[in-house]
Amino acid sequence: MLFRLPKIGTNAAASVFLIALFGLSAMPNLATAQSAECNEDDIRMNYSLYYEDYKIESWETSLPYLKWIIRCAPGFPSNNDRNYDRLTQVYEGLALSSDDADLQRTYIDSALVIHDTAPDSLEKAGIEVDRFDWLFSKGRFIQKHNAIVPDLQTIVGSVYHEAYDLDHTRLQNYYINYIVFDLVNKDRKGDAVDFMDEVEVDFAGNSEVLTTIENWRGQLFTSPEERIGFLESQVDKNPEDVDLKAELLQLYMEEGIRDMAYDLADQVMNDNPNGRLYRTVAKMRLDDGDTEEAIRLYEESLEMEGGPEAAREVYFNIGIAHQQEGRLASARSQFRKSMEADPTYVQALIAIGDLYVTAVQGCGSFEREDRAVYWLAADYFDRAASRTDNDGIRNQARQRSSNIKRFFPTAEDKFFKNWNPGDRFTIDYGCYTWIGESTAVR
């Protein structure tokens, strides 16, 4: 005669708790129906009893018979882990069908215990087991029941990491990303880097995974020192990547690591010369006062791919280089070329105005004719302010014009020189012969 347990209602919470924790020993009615030892003749009966209720999701009544099978014939009928898997599903079903938070937690914890113990138990019973599958399933199970076990979410990453170590080929990009996120979130950047190095080797041909790793590396290292270290490691791995080297070179420059910058620049220019690199190195040379080398590199960059598109920048910086050497006429010529390349580039107008102010300051005198040069400088500043839509550049130009007004020829100066407002006046004398431009008396 078969004995079936009555359906357990919500008022039997204590009984369910005992079932989950202590198993069949807490159920005297079942004990009278079965001997303390497993009876091989009862295997099919108990399997049938649990399976019929399991199919209709009658979790409470299927549980005791399923646990008997787990204890007495865990691999029946196909010698696999199906019964253990169903036991986790029964505990899950009991949790989700309960309104009691404590019971929900108890059942989910019971399912997790099965995840942890099933592999060893199955192997001891001589049943082949897939340890990766049980680990992976545990991680997914915890994630799935975040509302019931929120405190266990912190172990999910380590569970997936353990599964990765068992068989990385079965873990998809999402879970690799999750492992890195978990390590970074726990402030274990070093471990994250080590793991990513491992992943790069394991997934060398997987563009999706490698892109994920590359993105993480970009986010991990935010300080210049960390970023430099990262880029150096990337350059070692990808010596042909010009973009990586250009970024590393830029950081070397910004951090003042000049020796490393020049070594890297020479290496890249020999291996893979390109216009952008030449302009980057030229700017570094210009900043360091090596104007002749800067001019050479800038001029050569114009002949390379992308050179014409960068012409306004190139000519402008060549102009700066000439200005630094005191070659003001040559500097003006380059600034004018910059404007020809891009008529909207009003910074070149401001630069020419600055040249004329510099010319006065370097002439060694400050007579009426010297002061008149400031009228011409102001013309350029005013022209720049009127041609730009950029508020910052407009204000910069207006400020320069305002700053030099106090140096304009005075009313007395204009009286003695017979200069009348509106008259044209040409700056082409003394120190200013090279200027050769006219302005209006103000």
Per-residue pLDDT of 271-326, as tens digits, reads 778 888 899 889 989 998 999 999 999 999 999 988 888 999 999 999 999 999 99
Please state the pTM of the whole predicted model.
0.55
- The closest of 249, 248, 323, 324 to 284, measured between CA atoms, is 249
Q: What is the pLDDT of residue 231?
A: 84
pLDDT band at 26 (very low <50, low <70, confident <90, very high): very low
CA distance 159 to 439: 79
Q: What is the pLDDT of residue 19?
A: 41
pLDDT band at 68 (very low <50, low <70, confident <90, very high): very high
Phi, psi for residue 147 in degrees, rounded to 5: -65, -30
72-124 residue pLDDT tens: 999 999 999 999 999 999 999 999 999 999 999 999 999 999 999 999 999 99
Q: Residue 14, exposed/middle/buried by CB under 10 A (0-12, 13-18, 19+)?
A: exposed
Q: What is the pLDDT of residue 267?
A: 82
